[in-house]
Amino acid sequence: MDKQKRVAAIHDISCLGKCSLTVALPVLSAAGIETAVIPTAVLSTHTGGFENYSSMDLTAEMPKIIKHWKSLELQFDAVYSGYLGSKEQVDIVCEFLDNFKSENTLSVVDPAMADNGKMYALFDSGFAAEMKRLCQKADIIVPNVTEACFMLDKEYIPSGYDQGFIENMVYRLSDLGPERIVLTGVHFDDKTVSAVAYDRKAQKMCSVVRDRIDGMFHGTGDVFASALTAALMNGKDLFRATEIAVDFTVGSIKRTIASGAEHYGVDFERGLGEFIKSLEK
């Protein structure tokens, strides 16, 4: 039997709302991956669309967890980070990569901080420069178009851009350092949404295009990035992993709509079976 893969997932715990660690953990675990976690904060809900949420910052705890892990001489096949609460937490994750990233460790950074042209509630636009520092150290980054615009100091355009605009954006993101980019939420027109994956070494770019579904679905960035990481850890190449992650995310949105329930995040759970089957193919 192959050695089991181990991933360090560094995100917040939003207790309700299905994002960050409450998505990363089940998705990676279902994909057969041991998942160690460094929680960055505990919030009663995520900050998108809820009010009066509680929030406890865990910045002070993070170095203690990392110090203990160092003493255990752990090795990780991937380090997967997402929502970080402050510049200090970016510094901690950068240092974590310096300490734990070996030749065989993949670093996946989802610069979770913005969507639909706006930074999330607890950030100002200055935070994009901090996140950019972390992206510079990553092997793969998974920004949406808003996050990419903030990191590249580009004006956000919601839709209708051409292939050249997006290609240029992807090349500039790759110039920051990461060899592979997966840009999400790309609206080439009003009817479709694409994920654009680029592999600099292979000099290849590929778009996974699906029908656009209207509405705001929180946590889909985390569902996507977690599924992508899981697929890569299961030996899929970047383009197949992107396709698997897109279909898992789209399926989760469709189930959420079809069940008509008041949704606190998308129904990814009932797609896990099919997701695992797609990893086995």
Q: Write the DSSP string, 87-144.
A: HHHHHHHHHHHHHH--TT-EEEE---SEETTEE-TT--TTHHHHHHHHHHT-SEE--B
Is residue 107 a contact point for ligand PXL (CB under 6 A)?
A: no
Residue 257 CB, shortest distance to ligand PXL, in Å, is 19
**Contacts of residue 51, Cβ cutoff 8 Å, sequence gap at least 6:** none
> Which span sits near ligand PXL by CB under 6 A: 12-20, 159-167, 176-184, 229-237?
12-20
Work out how close the CB of 40 gets to ligand PXL at its nearest, in angstroms, rounded to a whole number. 9
Amino acid at 30: A
Applying CB under 6 A, among 26, 48, 63, 177 the residue interacting with ligand PXL is 48
Among 147, 199, 222, 243, which residue interacts with ligand PXL (rule: CB under 6 A)? 222
Specify the 3-state DSSP secondary structure of 160: coil
Residue 26 contacts ligand PXL per CB under 6 A: no
Least spacing, CB of residue 123 vs ligand PXL, in Å: 9
Nearer CB in complex with ligand PXL: 111/251? 111
**C-beta closer to ligand PXL: residue 208 or 223:** 223
Q: Which residue lies nearer to ligand PXL by CB, 110 or 243?
A: 110
Q: Is the CB of 46 or the CB of 263 nearer to ligand PXL?
A: 46
User: From residue 221, how far is each of 23, 82, 228, 262, 269 by CA, in Å?
Assistant: 10, 10, 10, 20, 15
Burial class (CB in 10 A: 0-12, 13-18, 19+), 187: middle
β-pairing, 114-115 with 106-109?
unpaired
Using CA atoms, how far apart are residues 61 and 272, in angstroms rounded to an integer? 32
In the shown chain, the binding pattern of residues 176 to 215 toward ligand PXL, with x for contact by CB under 6 A and - for none, equals ----------------------------------------
Applying CB under 6 A, which of residues 46, 137, 236, 240 lies at the interface with ligand PXL? 46
Distance CA 147, CA 186 (A): 12
Piece of the chain touching ligand PXL by CB under 6 A; list 46-54, 73-81, 133-141, 142-150:
46-54
Residues of this chain that interact with ligand PXL (CB under 6 A) are 12, 14, 19-20, 43, 46-48, 83, 112, 120, 219, 221-222
